[in-house]
Chains A and B, each alone.
Chain A
Amino acid sequence: MSRTLTHRVLPRIAATAGVLALAAGLAGCQPADSGASSDYVTDGKLTIATGEPAYYPYVIDDAPESGEGFEAAVAYAIAEQLGFAAEDVVWVRTGFDAAIAPGPKDFDFNLQQYTVTPEREESVDFSSTYYSADQAVITIDGSAAADATSIADLKDLLIGAATGTTSLTAVEEIIAPTAGAQVFNSNDDAKLALESGQVDAIVVDVPTAFYITGVELDGGLILGSLPEVEGATDEWGALLAKDSPLTDEVSAAIDALREDGTLDALVAEWLGADAGVPALQ
Chain B
Amino acid sequence: MLIGAASTVVFALALWAFVVNTPGWARVQDSFFDLDTAVAAFPRVAEGFLVNLRILAFSVVGVAVVATLIAFLRTLRGAVFFPLRVLATAYTDVFRGTPLIIVLFLIGFGVPGLLQTRISTELLGTVALVVTYSAYVSEVIRAGIEGVHPSQRMGARALGLSHAQTLRLVVLPQAIRRQAPPLMNDFVAMQKDVGLVSVLGVVDAVRGAQIETAKYADFTPYIVAAVLFVLLAIPTIRLTDWITARLRDREQMGSVV
Contacts and interface: CB of A to CB of B under 8 A. Distances in A.
B203 interface: yes
Given A97-B213, A102-B30, A119-B217, A199 B201 contact: yes
Contact of B216 (A123, A163, A180, A183): A123
Contact of A184 (B113, B201, B216): B201
Interface string B38-56: 0000000000000000000
A164 interface: yes
B228 interface: no
A24 interface: yes
B22 A182 contact: no
Interface string A74-102: 00000000000000000000001100111
- Taking chain B's interface residues, is the majority helix, strand, or loop, or is none over half, making it mixed? helix
B217 A123 contact: yes
B24 A102 contact: yes
A265 B14 CA distance: 60
Contact of A183 (B24, B31, B198, B218): B198
A124 B214 CA distance: 12
Contacts of B211: 163-164, 168, 183
B28 interface: yes
B168 interface: no
Contact of B23 (A31, A196, A242): A31
A27 B31 CA distance: 21
Contact of B27 (A96, A102, A198): A102
B178 interface: no
Interface residues of A, number: 41
Interface stretch (A44-52, A132-140, A148-156, A187-195): A187-195
Interface string A10-25: 0000000000100110
Nearest to A196: B113
Interface stretch (B61-69, B114-122, B241-249): B114-122
B207 A102 contact: no
B215 interface: yes
Nearest to B7: A16
Contacts of A160: 201
Contacts of B117: 197
Given A23-B18, A180-B203, A103 B217 contact: no
Contacts of A183: 198, 201, 203, 207, 211
A123 B28 CA distance: 11
Given A23-B18, A26-B18, A196 B201 contact: no
Nearest to A100: B217
Given A27-B18, A164-B211, A196 B27 contact: no
Contacts of A123: 30-31, 216-218
Interface string A160-195: 100111001000000000001111110001101101
A117 B217 CA distance: 10
Contacts of B121: 182, 198
A166 to B, nearest CB: 10
Interface string A237-259: 00000100000000000000000
Given A23-B18, A103-B27, A197-B117, 10 more contacts: A24-B14, A27-B18, A27-B21, A97-B213, A102-B27, A102-B30, A163-B210, A183-B207, A197-B112, A198-B200
Interface of B: 14, 17-18, 21-24, 27-28, 30-32, 108-110, 112-113, 116-119, 121, 198-203, 207, 210-211, 213-219
16 contacts: A24-B14, A97-B219, A100-B218, A103-B24, A117-B215, A119-B216, A123-B30, A163-B211, A164-B210, A164-B211, A164-B213, A183-B203, A196-B110, A196-B112, A196-B113, A199-B201
